[in-house]
Amino acid sequence: VLEAVVECPQEIQIVVFDSLSEMPAGVLSWEGFLKLGAAASSSAVSDEDFQKSALQAQPDDVATIIYTSGTTGDPKGVMLTHNNISSNVQVCSSLLPIVAGADNTISFLPLSHILQRTADYLFFRTGCRIGYPRSMPTLIKDMGVIRPTVVVSVPRIYEKIYNNVMGASGIKKALINWAAGVADRVADLRLTGREPSGVLALQYGLADKLVFSKVKAGVGGRVRLFLSGGGPLAPVLNRFFYSIGLTILEGYGLTETSPVTNANTLEHFRIGSVGKPASGTEVKIASDGEILIRGPQVMKGYYNKPEATASVIDTEGWFATGDIGHIDGEGFLYITDRKKDLIVTGGGKNIAPQPIENRLKTNMFVEQAVIIGDRRPYLVLLIVPATEPLQQWASQNGVEWSSFEELVTNQEVLSHLERETLGELSGLASFETPKKIALLSEELSIENGMLTPTLKVKRSLVEERFKAVIEQLYTGAVADKTAS
């Protein structure tokens, strides 16, 4: 870093979070950085000066620069104005039934991400109390303390809750499967405006007491509303939560749109969709299927990138989202996939990988799934197995192993994962079904750079990291399908 700083045209200050025995020249400790800030705030800017400066801000002034996640290219600085954000907060407050003084939430997504940033602004505006967990590993435990009534999350958290519920074994699994079946029949009724009666109502009450109440208690016991954004939510997950009395309102948006453009509401709700356009927002589909957005939440532009800005916002103000989708007859928007993520096989077939991956991730043995196959003769599948369920299965089936790395190379384990994963994809066309799989012992994470802060896969980096594994799937023997 020190060598690179020398080549930078602007002066850069390096701040180190961890304590160093010797601090190099030009490097500042975190404690020293805080002291500089405290000194500056106490001497340079008075409260009166700050208030005066705030009052001078104009709606079209840039309020913040937030960088895109970098899933489909280099991150770009998105310039959002005060009007972009404030208009989005105002619209969201009309979409969601937040009760001042009664509702509280838990804020755990990165505050550098526009979804959590706007959500927190919304909660400030509506008088909803905000609790912050100590860390992601303590999230569920902290939910028990904060006991939120409204939760904003990305799909991955809902996937984990679902897999924890459905991952039971033995008698408990049989009970959960029975309860889920009862709930599914009740969901059919409620989605058409009806309520269960007779034996079904009694069964649902028993299922709620024995199973669903435990799921609700696991997230604090008071949640009445889940909100989902930042990526597509598998319809099977949304239906499951709806069926047990935990409604997930899925919405849609991007960093460039502050972020909300569409959202399901309690009054207008369609599982599988991301809802109708927010008030003041126009949505249309381009000839190639790309979703276009126009409204007060569309960004001012990309910081210092006028050409990149012009490539996504046309002269009429329409923003090209990069997502593919369609709008049904009632105005609900459905997302197919990212335009740049679409796979075109060697045979010319267009395949959207995310819906397939989302189906796979509802399996208790699958932690992460990535479909590969662009300009290839067929699809292949990279799987990061869920550690605990797989280890439990191995112990029950006499599979010997001394490490997780060894476990994922076992042929019995591979065959089991093949049955589990490909079994989830029954009904897909042959060209949409992966022909080979590889098991990875390395989890995709934010720390190793393969996930964004909202847990979306950086596909190009995954393909680069596991290039040898992928090539082996296309050129090697079918049996050789494991990797670390």
Task: Spell out the domain ranges in the chain.
Answer: 1-56, 59-340, 342-483
Q: Collapse the DSSP code of 82 into the 3-class scheme (helix H, G, I; strand E, B; otherwise coil) and give the result.
A: helix
Looking at residue 27, its pLDDT comes to 86
Looking at residue 5, its pLDDT comes to 67
Rounded to whole angstroms, how far apart are CA atoms 462 and 195?
46
Q: Which helix (H) or strand (E) holds 83?
A: helix 82-95
The total number of residues shown for the chain amounts to: 484
Q: Which numeric CATH code is attached to 342-483?
A: 3.30.300.30
* Residue 184 CB coordination number (10 Å): 14
Looking at residue 478, its pLDDT comes to 41
Cis peptide before 110 (omega within 30 of 0): no
Looking at residue 1, its pLDDT comes to 67
Q: Which numeric CATH code is attached to 59-340?
A: 3.40.50.12780
* Residue 289 CB coordination number (10 Å): 15
What DSSP letter does each residue of 371-385 carry, written as one string? EE-TTSSS-EEEEEE
Long-range contacts, 198-205 (Cβ 8 Å, 24+): none
Rounded to whole angstroms, how far apart are CA atoms 87 and 343?
36
pLDDT tens for the chain, residues 1 to 484: 667 766 776 777 888 887 777 877 778 888 888 888 887 766 666 788 889 988 999 999 999 999 987 766 678 999 999 999 999 999 999 999 999 989 999 999 999 899 999 999 999 999 999 999 999 889 999 999 999 999 999 998 999 999 999 888 889 999 999 999 999 999 999 999 999 999 999 999 999 999 999 999 999 999 999 999 988 899 999 999 999 999 999 999 999 999 999 999 999 999 999 999 999 999 999 999 999 999 999 999 999 999 999 999 999 999 999 999 999 999 999 998 888 898 988 888 889 999 999 999 999 999 999 999 998 999 999 999 999 999 999 999 999 999 999 999 999 999 999 999 988 898 899 999 999 999 999 999 989 999 988 888 999 899 999 999 999 999 874 433 444 4
Q: C-alpha angle 305/292/303, rounded to 5°?
A: 15
Looking at residue 479, its pLDDT comes to 38
Name, in order, each residue with C-beta under 8 angstroms of 331's C-beta and a sequence gap of 6 or more.
276, 277
